[in-house]
Structure 1
């Protein structure tokens, strides 16, 4: 037990600081070229991995089972775990003869990514064959997303999912888990107290401070992790391990009400969020609070919220509608749109040198806008089309969800739960 606590302490020291996916991938692949070796678990051994931004126990490998591990200059070995790296105490495994590498086909384990994950809602067994009477390879803990590399049917026509743990092929029954139906990306704009909301009561994009606080309280109590857009990008590309309960919080426009009402709640719960800022509307100095007008955050206010909010782009001058009430972006040329995207990135670099993500104004986009986003070096663009985000989705047309001030907490819970098609149109 003491050695396991030592592993956690060592790994937490390495990983607790935030890393962008590219840096994380580089760090975790340092040993990829090192000589791998199959080792046998000497006892039922706890394993760990980086899930989101925390190194946590993620399961167990049973005594006598083999893992392909990589050497590390620490008290643990590394091995392939999902879309990342797992860790096991060096004292828990021992070298085995080459003849004991197991019967798993490396071709089977290295086949094409399926863009599908399973989600564990409780600790589940991983078997050595697609048979619950077969030997147990190990256990996956609850609240994990784990990549599926294949599916098959057993003799009773039950479905089994194939998974790769330490270059060993394992089998999970579909009855023990759920299929990952995507991560909800929640959209917010304006917040006001009910008693001060005179102008925006009939605006669907305005929510109350009480409704927002209740929604965040639900997320906290239900065990959701708030993940960043960087992590969402890595999830899209099958480059990161994430918890089963994950949500992205986004706020469009950069309104002062977000600083006033959302920021304290998010900070209190230790949540992270993304603010998509209209860069031309940033104020030089903070404005006196006026609930009857749409006010935008100042430079100092944007700097203050950065311990919670990641600053990204909502364009520079393109957040307007034309005479036909359609977003002007839809009528602009490729060059014009690209110039605006790049100008917004430059304006926001004072807050964030990694402006890689975009929210289309009013959710309006077309192929020209998508091409402009690519040309401007942006990695992801979000829309107002309702739905969740799954691996393999087009990164320039990602869906989001609205939770309205009139929505009950059970309605919110249903909408963001891991269920297919849990979307309600505004």
Structure 2
């Protein structure tokens, strides 16, 4: 037990899967057979958790790990299994799927588990059970097929074994919701922005965050969202990204105290030219921006990213001014914003287009300026393989009920 605790702590410190023997040293795999039902675990998001079990008699391709553990491929990362549950494969024993096609590409799709989910050796509930995937996982799909009863099966790969999950036991992933907020006020002080869709109430925001906590959601960083878009990271099924545009003072005053006790993470897309040198006296009747010290005070919850430097303006026709600027002007602004925000975050890699306005020039400039992803105001969820510079988001309004929020962020396809 002591060895497991030390090993898990080491994984969390070193980055686990990214520092694994499989990914870094590429040691040759050995085929081993489970001698009994064996628990497996892996890094999912920031945590090393139990991710299921493998039944006795199953063959896995593993490599040496820590003293008491083997490592094997699990999703987009590395799984771990106690060496005491494995023994060398005897003779020329084979399995039907010949241990899987190591070069077969993934399909840019995942399945989601909402409970412990059976995994089979063939696309039939009558086939031998391979094991179980635990609740709250996103797992990459290789392909899908329908059986004779027109039932859909998902083909997956675990430890270089091909295995199957029924669509009756798991859902296909319809994307991660990225929630968009701007301004928050108490109901009694909101006299100017009550009918502004981008202003929500402290009460509504607090209720929404409590609902997410109670439903077991994990709040992702933009770095984790990038791992998801690029198919490089295992993440929980119940995942959401929280973003705030502009950098208004109400974020530090009202949003931060709600998020911090829950251990939630969020992203603040900051208009870098509007950062104040000193905090302003609170005035709910005006749009005030955070100061240097206020931004530093929320860094344990909010990750600072870019909402441009001078381009957050509209022209005489109420169109985003970015759309009328040249590529070089946009590129200069994006680069300036990244430099300005480096005092808060040396990894400013993500952009929110001002007013959701973008064109081909802006997309190219975002890429050339060194951003990895950019978010829009187009309604929808983020899926693997999406254009990284045209990611969709969702608005939860002050007047939306928790039932409405549940429908928006649930795994149902968006209309």
Same fold (TM over 0.5): yes
Determine if contact 1:31/1:70 at 8 Å carries over to the other structure: no
Out of 6, 12, 23, the position equivalent to 2:8 is 12
**3-state DSSP class of the match of 2:132?**
strand
Q: Where do 1:8-407 residues align within 5 Å? A: 9-17=5-13, 25=18, 27=20, 29-97=22-90, 99-105=92-98, 108-407=101-400
Determine if contact 1:15/1:54 at 8 Å carries over to the other structure: no
Identify the residue that residue 421 of structure 1 maps to in structure 2: 414
Q: Give 1:11 deviation, angstroms.
A: 4.1
For residues 286-339 of structure 1, the C-alpha deviation after alignment (integer angstroms, 9 at most, x for no partner) is: 111111111111111111111001110000000000111100000000000000
**3-state DSSP class of the match of 1:176?**
coil
Change (3 A) 1:186 1:59: same
Q: Give 1:107 deviation, angstroms.
A: 6.5
**TM-score, reference length from structure 2:** 0.97
**TM-score, reference length from structure 1:** 0.94
Structure 1: 5+ residue stretches without partners: none
Q: What is the rounded CA distance, in whole Å, between the counterparts of 1:145 and 1:73 in structure 2?
A: 26
Determine if contact 2:246/2:270 at 8 Å carries over to the other structure: yes
Q: What is the rounded CA distance, in whole Å, between the counterparts of 2:215 and 2:21 in structure 1?
A: 30
Determine if contact 1:28/1:84 at 8 Å carries over to the other structure: no
Q: What is the rounded CA distance, in whole Å, between the counterparts of 1:66 and 1:24 in structure 2?
A: 21
Q: What is the rounded CA distance, in whole Å, between the counterparts of 2:380 and 2:51 in structure 1?
A: 29
Change (3 A) 1:105 1:323: farther
Q: Give RMSD over aligned pairs.
A: 1.6
For residues 203-239 of structure 1, the C-alpha deviation after alignment (integer angstroms, 9 at most, x for no partner) is: 1000000000000000000010001100000001111
Structure 2: 5+ residue stretches without partners: none
Q: Give 1:108 deviation, angstroms.
A: 3.2
Determine if contact 1:35/1:71 at 8 Å carries over to the other structure: no
Q: Give 1:97 deviation, angstroms.
A: 3.1
Q: Give 1:12 deviation, angstroms.
A: 3.1
Q: Give 1:6 deviation, angstroms.
A: 4.2
Change (3 A) 1:263 1:293: same
Q: Which runs of 4+ in 1 moved over 4 A?
A: 26-32
